[in-house]
């Protein structure tokens, strides 16, 4: 088949938009016909997904570069029940500074019409209304730039490109002291330090939690150090032990999430310094070294933990825990493999899914593992560190139910705190609740409800102080002596539909076409890598493991009707210009957790598009 025949075969008319409402359009509804003559970039996202948040930031310069030719449309297709709440989506669009129209797709109708299988997925529609490129995951900006440049040139020449302003209408900007705060820490002075995430700064309050003592940071998004510092959506805060702070010259470690940095704050004068990270996301596999030379990715929380001898970092962006040694000025991976999931055991073999909250519990480090709706902990053993799970079963099950921990359910928790009696308070974010786990009995109960997205907490003089992020304030929602109560909620599963597939032997194909002007880079060995595992583990009789071919034969076990395929694919591509001695190279990587339903009539091929178009579809 010729290249032209392949191109014609791949021309699929883009389906119409279907959803509940439009945001950022001034109330106007958008149809595909309204965008004819423009390049349309669809971003399928959900606001719980860290990779989706990365893509929002990656797209900003591309949107500015092609402001007259490209219209970006966010299609919000929710994973969790809370994300289907229209008010929660309005808040998320503001929280993450989404500056393009957003289609609210609560039933995943548009998602299914475009055959999307992963968050995030990007779809390019040409000025004549045809799908011309699909890319799953993050890190596709250069490929998109090449594709869009070609489309613009082609349709400019044909006269089918129309330039102009897009349909984006900015909403009114509200003003509050805090805007979507993230975490809180109690200072030795008795004051409270809060990360004011959407205002890109920190706010110190008096002990009452209302009187502002000072603001640290200008409020501008950036990464400048000094007393006029800049942050980008800061989140976690860790107060160093006094003897450590005296040695290093700063008191608080800040997870500067969108900058992919750790920052240090000297409380005496508000001086801010950069401690760890390069400002670029972790993509190259570097797992340790001098702190300022090791890339981080969306550090969401930090906690000093004595058994580890440093500051543990909840690295939401690559599903691991890092460890920062402030004395040595070094960072290394502490736990996790970068595979997204829930697996206990040795720290270096454990799976996490967007760890987002940490709390020092002495012999245990407690953590909120958001995407698995789980409460987990790390503990030191004679041999090494081990990871265990108290509440939670995996990526797709959630709810609000109390009782024995193996039956209890959470929904995307983002914060934890250890209470004076040794029990653990959980910021059950998407349930709007504070939950309590009692390690001695293994019981889960509910302490408070009707809190607007609680995301962090600290214990101050025996009382729990909670960050009510979507209410833009800190609260004390658990009165002293309150009795825990039990909630019997229903088990729920993510909205994403399972992919039907035939039993027995099937072919899994990761589709990747190097973007225009590039080629697969095999100068130093294979340019592609594919890793496959499953839940349950016995779902795969053959095909699990690591290889270099992006197409693999899988054999599914008899007697299992459904499960999840965990797929991690990557491809290295470089500029294809023989005149350039050192071409620029890029690594494309995507993780999928694909829920599958095995039927006798299901297809025998499962395509996952990482970049390009599936010409066998």
Which pLDDT belongs to residue 6? 40
Matching residue, tokens 């928790």: 413
Burial of 60 (0-12, 13-18, 19+ CB in 10 A): middle
Picking from 290, 309, 335, the residue at the C-terminal end of a domain is 335
Range of the domain at 7: 1-173
Picking from 151, 173, 195, the residue at the C-terminal end of a domain is 173
Residues 74 and 214 in one domain: no
Report whether pLDDT(537) > 90: no
Which pLDDT belongs to residue 302? 98
Residue 29 within a domain? yes
pLDDT band for position 5 (cuts 50, 70, 90) = very low
Residues 163 and 304 in one domain: no
CA distance 74 to 53: 12
Residues 12 and 145 in one domain: yes
Beta pairing class for 454-460 and 70-76: unpaired
pTM score of the predicted model: 0.88
Residue 460 within a domain? no
Q: How many CB atoms lie within 10 A of CB 420?
A: 10
Cis-peptide into 536, omega within 30 deg: yes
Residues 150 and 15 in one domain: yes
- pLDDT tens track for 407-444: 999 999 999 999 999 999 999 999 999 999 999 999 99
Matching residue, tokens 């149809």: 31
The secondary structure element, H or E, covering residue 444 is strand 443-448
Matching residue, tokens 């548009």: 110
Residue 240 within a domain? yes
pLDDT band for position 172 (cuts 50, 70, 90) = confident
Residues 245 and 277 in one domain: yes
Residues 198 and 84 in one domain: no
Pair 219, 231: CB distance under 8 Å: no
Residues 127 and 148 in one domain: yes
pLDDT band for position 395 (cuts 50, 70, 90) = confident
Residues 187 and 272 in one domain: yes
Residue 384 within a domain? no
Residue 442 within a domain? no
Which pLDDT belongs to residue 520? 85
Picking from 138, 173, 208, the residue at the C-terminal end of a domain is 173
Residues 20 and 97 in one domain: yes
Report whether pLDDT(319) > 70: yes
Question: Averaged over 301-307, what is the pLDDT?
Answer: 98
What's the chain's length in residues?
617
Question: Averaged over 211-233, what is the pLDDT?
Answer: 97
Which pLDDT belongs to residue 431? 96
Residue 580 within a domain? yes
Domain CATH number, residue 57: 3.40.30.10
Residue 391 within a domain? no
Domain CATH number, residue 227: 2.120.10.30
- pLDDT tens track for 107-147: 999 999 999 988 999 999 999 999 999 999 888 998 999 99
Residue 17 within a domain? yes
Residues 150 and 216 in one domain: no
Residues 4 and 152 in one domain: yes
- The tally of domains found in the chain comes to 3
CA distance 304 to 237: 10
Residues 199 and 326 in one domain: yes
Helices 50-65 and 141-158: angle between axes, nearest 10 degrees: 40
How far apart, in Å, are the Cα atoms of 476 and each of 119, 132, 385, 458, 480?
Answer: 35, 52, 34, 10, 10
Instruction: Retrieve residue 192's tokens.
Output: 């409270």
Report whether pLDDT(447) > 90: yes
């Amino acid at each position: 088949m010729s290249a032209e025949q392949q191109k014609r075969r791949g021309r699929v008319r883009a389906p119409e938009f279907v959803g509940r409402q439009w945001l950022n359009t001034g109330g106007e509804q958008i149809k595909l016909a309204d965008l004819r003559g423009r390049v349309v970039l669809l971003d399928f996202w959900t606001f719980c997904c860290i990779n989706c948040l990365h893509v929002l930031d990656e797209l900003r310069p591309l949107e500015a570069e092609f402001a007259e030719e490209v219209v970006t449309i966010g299609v919000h297709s929710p994973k969790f029940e809370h994300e289907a709440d229209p008010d929660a989506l309005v808040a998320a669009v503001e929280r993450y500074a989404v500056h393009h129209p957003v289609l609210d797709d609560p039933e995943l109708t548009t998602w299914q019409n475009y055959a999307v299988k992963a968050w995030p997925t990007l779809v390019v529609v040409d000025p004549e209304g045809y799908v011309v490129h699909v890319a799953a995951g993050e890190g596709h900006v250069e490929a998109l730039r090449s594709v869009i440049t070609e489309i613009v040139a082609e349709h400019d020449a044909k006269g089918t490109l129309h330039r102009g302003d897009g349909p984006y209408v900015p909403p009114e900007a509200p003003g509050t002291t805090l805007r979507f705060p993230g975490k809180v820490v109690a200072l030795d002075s008795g004051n409270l330090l809060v990360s004011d995430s959407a205002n890109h700064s920190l706010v110190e309050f008096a002990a009452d939690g209302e009187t502002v003592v000072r603001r640290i940071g200008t409020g501008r998004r950036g990464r400048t150090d000094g007393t006029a510092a800049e942050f980008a959506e800061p989140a976690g805060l860790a107060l160093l032990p006094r003897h450590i702070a005296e040695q290093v010259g700063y008191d608080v470690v800040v997870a500067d999430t969108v900058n992919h940095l750790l920052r240090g704050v000297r409380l005496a004068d508000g001086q801010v310094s950069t401690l760890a990270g390069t400002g670029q996301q972790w993509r190259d596999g570097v797992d340790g070294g001098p702190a300022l030379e090791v890339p981080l990715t969306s550090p969401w929380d930090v906690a000093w933990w004595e058994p580890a001898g440093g500051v543990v970092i909840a690295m939401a962006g690559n599903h691991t825990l890092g460890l920062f040694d402030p004395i040595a000025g070094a960072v290394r991976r502490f736990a996790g493999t970068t595979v997204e999931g829930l697996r206990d055991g040795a720290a270096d073999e454990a799976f996490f899914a967007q760890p987002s909250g940490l709390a020092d519990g002495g012999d245990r480090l407690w953590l909120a593992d958001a995407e698995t709706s789980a409460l987990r902990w790390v503990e030191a053993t004679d041999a090494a560190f081990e990871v265990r799970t108290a509440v939670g079963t995996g990526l797709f099950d959630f709810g609000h139910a109390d009782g024995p921990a193996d039956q209890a359910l959470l929904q995307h928790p983002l914060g934890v705190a250890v209470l004076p009696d040794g029990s653990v308070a959980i910021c059950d974010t998407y349930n709007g609740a504070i939950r309590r786990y009692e390690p001695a009995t293994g019981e889960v109960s509910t302490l408070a409800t009707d809190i607007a997205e609680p995301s962090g907490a600290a214990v101050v003089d025996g009382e729990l102080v909670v960050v009510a992020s979507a209410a833009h304030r800190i609260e004390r929602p658990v009165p002293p002596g309150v009795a825990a109560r039990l909630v019997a909620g229903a088990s729920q599963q993510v909205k994403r539909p399972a992919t039907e597939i035939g039993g027995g032997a099937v072919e899994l194909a990761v589709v990747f076409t190097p973007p225009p002007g590039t080629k697969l880079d095999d100068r130093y060995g294979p340019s592609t890598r594919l890793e496959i595992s499953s839940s349950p583990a016995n779902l795969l009789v053959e095909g699990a493991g690591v290889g270099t071919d992006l197409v693999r034969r899988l054999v599914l076990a008899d007697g299992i009707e459904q499960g999840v395929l965990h797929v991690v694919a990557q491809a290295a591509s470089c500029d294809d210009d023989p005149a350039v001695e050192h071409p620029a190279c890029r690594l494309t990587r995507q993780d999928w957790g694909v829920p599958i339903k095995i039927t006798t009539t299901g297809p025998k091929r499962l395509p996952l598009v990482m970049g390009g178009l599936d010409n066998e579809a």
